[in-house]
């Protein structure tokens, strides 16, 4: 037993819709092992255009992003499970769509990201049909030429 183990169990993070969606999206952003400035910009853009985050100030968006980064670091894959439990099925689909957008935005989907997407779909209860539709539409939206 580590010195901080008893404190960790007492201070479990509390998820609301914003924190849950962002936790899932941040996990997707970090699936390839690094976060670029462009990906951080995409997170901010997602906040600006999503009704989930539309009432937030920049500082509130930053707080939600910071929460998601911290909870992913602390809980690892359990962060996604905990976030999913806090969302209605429709919002799990929304979180999945945002996550896919983040993963495919750079035009490259590596093996780690592909494995992440499969695991994410399973954890969120995304059907194969919905998953394929989200991926197809996202690829259409992110074409450069």
pLDDT at 88 (0 to 100): 96
Does any domain span residue 5?
A: no
**What mean pLDDT, rounded, does the chain reach?**
88
Contact by Cβ (8 Å): 68, 19: yes
Does any domain span residue 49?
A: yes
Does any domain span residue 1?
A: no
- Integer CA distances (angstroms), 121 to 24, 77, 79, 95, 124, in order: 11, 13, 14, 10, 5
pLDDT at 69 (0 to 100): 92
Number of domains in the chain: 1
pLDDT at 4 (0 to 100): 59
Phi/psi at 55 (5° precision) = -85, -5
pLDDT at 1 (0 to 100): 53
Does any domain span residue 7?
A: no
- Whole-angstrom distance, CA of residue 84 vs CA of residue 95: 9
Does any domain span residue 2?
A: no
Does any domain span residue 51?
A: yes
Does any domain span residue 134?
A: yes
Range of the domain at 135: 14-141
In 3D, which of 120, 92, 96, 116 has the Cα closest to residue 33? 116
pLDDT at 34 (0 to 100): 73
Does any domain span residue 4?
A: no
pLDDT at 8 (0 to 100): 52
N- to C-terminal Cα separation, the chain: 55
Residues of the chain with pLDDT under 70: 1-11
* Model confidence, pTM: 0.88
Contact by Cβ (8 Å): 15, 86: yes
- Whole-angstrom distance, CA of residue 131 vs CA of residue 15: 24
The CATH number given to whatever domain includes residue 77 is 1.10.3680.10
Structure tokens at 77: 């894959």
């Amino acid at each position: 037993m580590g010195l901080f183990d008893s404190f960790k169990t007492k201070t479990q993070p509390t998820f609301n819709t914003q924190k849950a969606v962002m936790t899932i999206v941040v996990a997707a952003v970090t699936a390839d092992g690094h976060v670029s400035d462009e990906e951080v910009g995409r997170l901010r853009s997602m906040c600006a255009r999503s009704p989930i985050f539309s009432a937030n100030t920049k500082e509130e968006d930053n707080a939600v992003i910071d929460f998601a980064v911290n909870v992913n670091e602390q809980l690892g894959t359990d962060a996604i499970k905990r976030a999913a439990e806090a969302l209605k099925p429709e919002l799990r689909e929304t979180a999945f769509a945002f996550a896919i957008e983040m993963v495919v935005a750079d035009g490259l989907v590596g093996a780690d990201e592909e494995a992440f997407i499969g695991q994410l779909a399973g954890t969120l209860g995304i059907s194969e049909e919905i998953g394929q539709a989200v991926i197809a539409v996202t690829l259409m939206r992110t074409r450069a030429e």
